[in-house]
Amino acid sequence: MSRSRRRMEGHRHFLQAQLYIIKLRISTTTRLCLMSSLTAPLWLKITNLAPLFSL
């Protein structure tokens, strides 16, 4: 009885770890998307102004 319960506890911890990893991955990807969406216009402006600076 105690052995199966311990196995269930381990399985639950494993699932919690997996959920934590998935949450981390989602947060990092969303942060990257936000960063890229914020910096993309800046990069476009810089690349548009680059020819002026190269003159």
Q: What pLDDT, in 10s, does the model give residues 1-55?
A: 678 888 888 888 899 999 999 999 999 999 888 888 888 888 788 788 777 766 5
Position 28, amino acid: T
Structure tokens that stand for 53 in this block: 């600076």
pTM (2 decimals)?
0.50
Structural domain count of the chain: 1
SS3 content of the chain, % helix, strand, coil (to 5): 95, 0, 5
Give residue 4's domain range. 1-55
